[in-house]
Chains A and B, each alone.
Chain A
Amino acid sequence: MNRRQFVTGLGAAGFALLQPARMRAAAPAPPVAIGRCKSYGDEFLASAAKMFDQLGGLGRIVKNKTVTIKINLTGDENTRQGYLSQGRTFWTHARTVGGVIHLLDRAGARRIRVVEGAWEWPASLEEFMLKSGWDPNLLLSAAPRVELLNTNMPYKGKKPYSRFPVPHGGLLFPAYDLSTAYAESDVLISMNKIKEHGTAGVTLSIKNLFGITPTTIYGNKVPVDEPAPRPYAGRTDIGHLGSRQPPKSSPAEKDPTSPRQPGYRIPRIIADLAAAVPVQLAILDGIETIAGAELPRLGTTEAIQPGVLIAGTNAVTTDAVAMAVMGFDPLADRGKAPFESCDNTLRLAEELGVGTRDLSQIEVLGEPIKNVVFKFRDHGGRRRWALPGAKWPA
């Protein structure tokens, strides 16, 4: 089932959502591939190609399709972990995107779009990359028919935004208004690094979807009635804090009396998005990343080299395997690492029928988990970064 079919009809997963008590058993459990990889050059390309083959081949997923790659360029473009570039520490690495574009083209993808809604960025994605010292030509020259889109901005055309209802009615919002680029997409690929996260426990393929919410609708300072013509600020007020609602033109929260805590809200928004806008291919970069937080924090984060790649056709199963690789238990409840201050996003997404987080049900291809475990909590400062309200346990 591709996105168009999903959005217009809802499928078996949507039906299963009507029965939350049985969700874990009902949630899909496709396999996940793990590969060792220590560098971003040819080794990445070879490792990724091998893993995609293990998953049944890219052509099966992308041939003649419009493929959208959601990358992760979170935070401020002028911040680095030490002297290291963002791509080596907390952003998707440009070479991994270029490599995947090349493989997608070879597999017959009809059109490839690289998307991100970075912070409050008001201009093109190319421009954001240039500001950051990230060469967009690495992507644009990797294959023909490559586009870069800042999905913070209204999509060009008659319909700037499309509505994506959340199956089962949604956990926080019943539906999300997103760039029409996502509605035009047949295949969504989520590509980012494996990291810890202050209000979601981990940044993995599901968390990456938070950035698809346009800041013209879900950003601070947006108008009361209609989307802003251009982004002004990040997503803290509507997303993390719930201190206001989106413009009236978009669906409001289901329950305005629900907790106004980032650790409650962010996991639910992410799970909603994972159900409303399913990821068909998750590619997680653990070649180089940071431990301690999702963004560089002096005294908290540390650059690390786990040397691993993880990929799967289901965001939750892939994230569950990635959590295990990071030394975490994907079944952990709130209060246990890495969810000390938030709900387990994977659990919420699982309950929405997106996929299982139960490792016993997930076939791992390639390297066994135990061979590549890299315990994130052995690295970085003890004071993990978190928004107000999130506390490190005594």
Chain B
Amino acid sequence: MQFENLVPLRWPSGPLEIAMRAGSKSFDAQVQQTLERWHDPASLGFLKDSSIDCIAISWAAGLPADAEQQRTAQPLIDAARSRHLAVVGWVDGKADSKAAIAAAKAAGLTAVALPGEAPDTDFPVLAWSDRAAVNWDSTAPVVVIGDNVWPGVSLAAPGADASAGPTGVPWLDSNGWYIQMACARLKAPLWVTFDPPADKGAIPAESYVKAICDSEAAGGRWVIALDDKLRADLAGGNTARWKDIASAAGFFKEHAAWKAYRSLGLVGVISSFTGTDLDLTGEILNLMARRDLLFRAIWKSRALEQPFTGLKALIYVDSELPDPPLRRKITEFVEQGGLLITGAAWGKTGQPVAPAFATQFDLLTVGQGRLAVARNAIDDPYQLAIDAQLLLSHGRDLVKIFNSPSSGCTRYTASPDGRTAVLQCLSYADRWRFGPRTIWLRDGYRSARLWTIGAPAAAMQGQPAEDYAGVEYHLPENAPKSYLALEFARKGRA
């Protein structure tokens, strides 16, 4: 079974799901009825002609209802298999994993998703965990990570502005930074799980599309999870909201090749990305993504084997200094013209220079490069993200997007052979008060195509920016706001 490009849909149904949800605030007779109806093979009907090719059903949770769930799910499983759908059995923490696997095998499931270490088995087991317990060396065919956020403009954050104008910087919830970081380490495809906000009622299709795009643009795949109302609608044959969701999922299935593209970001963040280091570096990644400061996450354990080619700056703020070989490699990067932003523990070597703005860093020249050493403990990732962008200088920007409120998590990547590049632009704004967008790129390309969900590619003509370097692309006024991608072909190449 190839798990590489499956598009999974969470399929809550049956007695086990009812037992798990009974007593919760959101559980009522209608929810129960929907869970029952989704256990019926006929409920699979709305998946016809969609890109969804995997359903993730509740399989075991260590509850008395496990056995009944597995028994009654058989018609659903059979129907799914006959539709060429992969079926993954979701196993919760307290279940007996060996028994769950055996039952899954017997029932003809494609795989199970298990928390923690997979037992020794020849049956496909997806490694499922929350962020805090990820086995980064997992050899599972898919790694599934939970504990994620519902992407969008956060109304919970202090000072959040739902209108999300470009002059404000509202807080955005996004998993993009985490997914980029995780994908830089994992060998297997990454699926992420999160549920629609339970207290928001019917979630607009647009929000689902944003949730899909937030994961996909970063290189991951969301195990699509629908709200109760939408599942009830689908059980009743109302597919109005579903069409856009399916279309978005299908778009990324068609462009799966983009996931192998490498970041063109100029800033590398080197970290262990664990424990208290992750508290700081994770937030730095998050805020850099919010500011569209394109980055590359570099796991410390792999930093020696990865070239720093294309990077102009490195950030190293882990609590422990790197081992001597990595320190040497970083120092060479600086001496050859790079910028290192780091904590006070790194030490100050080089010739002090006055920074052009009030910053928490002392700036020194080392060889042809610069060293920015924090004067005090770094405890403000927001300020660090700002300072990093200024120390690097906007003169090095690769991308600028005009008239794009609440944008962030822009990804600019290139194919392994360098012949193609893709710029994926996201906006999380709920309302739009601004005119058509312009995308500025420093790089020039032979040709460009605009990709939007549900539409064929459209050729785009760039034009030189006025009185500035680079090329501008004027997006059509009706271009979708939440997500679009520009695909470029390199100059001088076929």
Contacts and interface: CB of A to CB of B under 8 A. Distances in A.
Interface stretch (B35-43, B65-73, B278-286, B398-406): B398-406
Given A94-B467, A133-B440, A135-B467, A230 B357 contact: yes
Interface stretch (A60-68, A82-90, A182-190): A82-90
Contact of B467 (A81, A131, A138, A154): A138
A94 B472 CA distance: 18
Given A79-B166, A133-B465, A122 B357 contact: yes
Contacts of B469: 135
Interface in B459-482: 465-470, 472, 474
Interface stretch (B189-197, B366-374, B414-422, B431-439): B431-439
B357 A78 contact: no
B434 A298 contact: yes
A230 B466 contact: no
A31 B465 CA distance: 38
Contacts of A81: 435
B356 interface: yes
B455 interface: no
B402 A130 contact: no
A76 B167 contact: yes
A123 interface: yes
A78 B358 contact: no
Q: How large is the interface on B (under 10, 10 to 19, 20 to 34, 35 or more residues)?
A: 20 to 34
Contact of B435 (A123, A138, A296): A296
Contact of B434 (A85, A133, A296): A296
Contact of B403 (A79, A119, A127): A79
Given A78-B401, A78-B403, A138-B467, A127 B358 contact: no
A134 B468 contact: yes
Interface in A231-255: 234
Interface string A285-304: 00000000000111000000
B393 interface: yes
B433 A297 contact: yes
Nearest to B433: A298
A127 B438 contact: no
A230 B358 contact: yes
Contacts of A134: 467-468
Contacts of B436: 82-83
A124 interface: yes
Interface in A73-124: 75-76, 78-83, 85, 87-88, 94-95, 119, 122-124
A81 B432 CA distance: 14
A95 B468 CA distance: 12
Contacts of B345: none
Nearest to A299: B433
A88 B466 CA distance: 10
Nearest to A303: B435
B95 interface: no
Interface string B166-178: 1100000000000
A119 B165 CA distance: 15
A72 to B, nearest CB: 16
Contact of B390 (A76, A127, A135): A127
A234 B395 CA distance: 24
Contacts of A123: 356-357, 390
A88 B468 CA distance: 14
A129 to B, nearest CB: 8
Contacts of A20: none
B461 to A, nearest CB: 13
B486 to A, nearest CB: 15
A56 interface: no
Given A79-B402, A138-B467, A127 B356 contact: yes
Interface in B145-183: 166-167
A222 interface: no
A153 interface: yes
A229 interface: yes
Contacts of A83: 435-436, 438, 472, 474
A122 B394 contact: no
B22 to A, nearest CB: 48
Contact of B394 (A88, A131, A138): A131
Contacts of A131: 394, 397, 400
B158 to A, nearest CB: 13
Contacts of B438: 80, 83
Nearest to B463: A83
A135 B402 contact: no
Contacts of A135: 467-469
B213 to A, nearest CB: 20
Contacts of B202: none
B386 interface: yes
Q: Give the top 7 A-B pairs by smallest Cβ distance, nearest first.
A: A123-B357, A131-B394, A230-B358, A130-B394, A76-B167, A130-B395, A83-B474
14 contacts: A78-B402, A78-B403, A79-B403, A83-B436, A83-B474, A94-B467, A127-B357, A130-B395, A130-B397, A133-B465, A133-B470, A135-B467, A135-B468, A296-B435
Given A127-B393, A298-B433, 16 more contacts: A79-B403, A82-B435, A83-B436, A85-B467, A87-B467, A122-B357, A123-B356, A123-B357, A123-B390, A124-B357, A130-B393, A130-B394, A133-B440, A153-B357, A230-B358, A298-B434
Interface of A: 75-76, 78-83, 85, 87-88, 94-95, 119, 122-124, 126-127, 130-131, 133-135, 138, 153-154, 229-230, 234, 296-298
Interface of B: 166-167, 356-358, 386, 390, 393-395, 397, 400-404, 432-436, 438, 440, 465-470, 472, 474
